[in-house]
Structure 1
Amino acid sequence: MVGSRVSFETSTHDLVIDAFHDRTSITRQTFHKDIIVHDGVWIGAGAIILCGVTIGEQSIVAAGSVVTKDVEAGVLVGGVPAKTIRRLVPN
């Protein structure tokens, strides 16, 4: 289940400090990574899921969270950046 205004961001770019103001294709290279959402996941309204993240089965992402790292199966995560709040399913 996916709430309203959830954003799946599958592309990003490197942070280039040297030559930041050059604005050339070399300093603006982007890359893409898949997002994997397993069965039984709930994602709350307004959550942002960043590229390369996997969300494990039966997990819940709280509304407004920013998920920057993989989420274990069976946990509730929330916050900016999202952190495990509690386990929902016994190990």
Structure 2
Amino acid sequence: LHAHAARVDALPLVRVVGDGAARFNVLHAEFFGPDAELDTGNYSHDVRERLMWGRDLVQGLADPALQAGLSLTCTGHTPVRAPQRI
């Protein structure tokens, strides 16, 4: 079990696929900020928590403008009846 936990801990929080206009991001929950901040990979505790557990955007509790400069980003985490584009 410890070996499996170590492998999960080593997984990246974000995957970036493609570049330029074809770029899209894959992450678990949500991220607020531009691609440049996402690309650092050096996230504060609060940002890590949002990447894993955030639901504010999908629940309508956050301003989508907080994602200005962020490429198309595909997430999961929150069950919804149908795919949404926010």
Higher relative contact order (CA 8 A, sep 6+): 2
Band of TM-score, shorter chain: under 0.3
> TM-score normalized by structure 2?
0.22
Higher alpha-carbon Rg: 1
- The structure where helix makes up a greater share of residues is 2
> TM-score normalized by structure 1?
0.22
- The structure where strand makes up a greater share of residues is 1
